[in-house]
Amino acid sequence: MTTPTFDSLFDIRDRVVVVTGASSGIGRMLAHGLTAVGAKVVLAARRENRLRDLVAEIAKELGEDGRAVPVACDISDDAGRARLVDQAVREFGGIDGLVNNAGISGSGLPATRQSTAEFREVLEVDLVAPFDLAKRCLVSMRERGGGSIVNVTSTAAVTTTGTGIPQAAYCAAKAGLAHLTRELAVQWGRYLVRVNAFAPGFFATEMTELMTDADGMPPDWLTVRQAIKGSAGAADALGTVQFLLSDASRFVTGQHIVVDGGQTIT
């Protein structure tokens, strides 16, 4: 029996990975990171101009075209999700990985003032869309003998946020996505399709811009609960997601990996 090397375990070169919410934040970090390690990435977001700029940046960094394909679509729409998966299969012949990263947080209003319509909208984007995309990608993954789905949740799936920013819909959606991850892992293990979740803590992104201090640090009410002070960065997202997409995690499924500097354990 040949002992696998470190490099071979984490190697995802030429694997086809769909990343939603790729035009900003963690999705953008993953777009750069996954292509840099050799994956073929299908990048989905609503803002077509930002996607095209991102693909041009990646091509310039790598010195080649074709590693990243932009698909402008609205994942809250059935037709948009269908088109995303169809185009990924047309471009690269199949799908090996899905990173359900796209999400919205809502207005931040207390539950007494949050409309039911907004509550539904957040669940549609953050929970229903990942479920439907996972089912659609499963078809190709089964044909290819397996695959990996990574659902991006949040520390809001683990702890409440109401003492800082009220987010009833967001907490409900992300907690639901965390448990959906476990259920799909149980149902789809027979197909060698693994389903795991990555729960980011504070990353300095567009979504957290209003909370970020001038020095890039999270607000005091967050840092006081962190064992490791500071803000997470691109390497923290890539390290977790690459592990979950690679053979290094071939026997890992149904897990919820929190990357938060220890915030949720205090």
Mean pLDDT taken over the chain? 93
Give the model's confidence band at 66: pLDDT under 50 very low, under 70 low, under 90 confident, else very high. confident
CA distance 253 to 231: 27
* pLDDT at site 209: 61
Distance separating alpha carbons of residues 15 and 227, to the nearest angstrom: 35
Q: What pLDDT shows up at residue 127?
A: 98
R_g over Cα of the chain: 18
DSSP string across 22-79 = TTSHHHHHHHHHHHHTT-EEEEEES-HHHHHHHHHHHHHHHT-SSSEEEEE--TTSHH
Digit-coded pLDDT (tens) for 231-262? 899 999 999 999 999 999 999 999 999 999 99
How many angstroms separate the first and last alpha carbons of the chain?
43
191 among known catalytic residues: no
Of 92, 170, 198, 203, which is the active-site residue?
170
pLDDT at position 1 over 90: no
Q: How many CA atoms lie within 13 A of 166 on its CB side?
A: 9
**Structural domains for the chain:** 10-265 (3.40.50.720)
Output the six-digit token pair for 91. 């471009």
Dump pLDDT digits (tens) for 140-184. Answer: 999 999 999 999 999 999 999 888 889 999 999 999 999 999 999
pTM: 0.94
